Amino acid sequence: MKQSIIHIALLVRDYDEALDFYLQKLGFDLVEDTCLSKTKRWVLIKPPGSFGCCLLLAKAADEQQRSSVGNQSGGRVFLFLETENFDESYQSMLANGISFVREPIVESYGTVAVFKDLYGNLWDLIERTVDAG
């Protein structure tokens, strides 16, 4: 039996501000934006060229959810954005105003730096070495 994780829900304050950040600043692609009700949309985004999992932008609906926006992983790196060209991606992100909280370093598995999204979630930007799994 084959199984796949197809979407990961990412809590956001507002659909449009999140779309602006992910599409304009990170260069992600919009996969789907469907209105489900007056307050709820089905919004899927993905990095360009990605065939893997999509992010489902989920607008926080109550106080508990709003308090978790930007801290879905308790302050740890939450998501990992792989790139084929670290230097190009890093420079593009800097030019687009992305805030890095850990500068690039070379590890045994690849080159990595940590950045924040618009809500403060931490992401790894990583270019893996050829022999890294």
Domains (ranges, CATH) in the chain? 1-69 (3.10.180.10), 70-133 (3.10.180.10)
**pLDDT tens, 50-109?**
998 999 999 999 999 999 999 999 999 999 999 999 999 999 999 999 999 999 999 999
- The predicted structure's pLDDT at residue 130: 77
Using CA atoms, how far apart are residues 116 and 98, in angstroms rounded to an integer? 7
- The predicted structure's pLDDT at residue 52: 87
Average pLDDT score over residue span 117-126? 98
Average pLDDT score over residue span 19-25? 98
Q: With the C-alpha atoms ordered 127, 50, 29, 33, is the resulting torsion angle positive or negative?
A: negative
Spatial contact of 111 and 130, defined as CB atoms under 8 Å apart: no
- pTM, to two decimals: 0.92
| Upper half-sphere CA count for residue 133 (Cβ side, 13 Å) | 0
Q: Which residues contact 97 (CB under 8 A, 6 or more apart)?
A: 25
- The predicted structure's pLDDT at residue 133: 56
- The predicted structure's pLDDT at residue 22: 98
Using CA atoms, how far apart are residues 80 and 67, in angstroms rounded to an integer? 22
DSSP code for 19: H
Using CA atoms, how far apart are residues 52 and 96, in angstroms rounded to an integer? 24
- The predicted structure's pLDDT at residue 65: 97
**pLDDT tens, 23-45?**
999 999 999 999 999 999 999 99
- pLDDT-derived band of residue 111, with 50, 70 and 90 as boundaries? very high
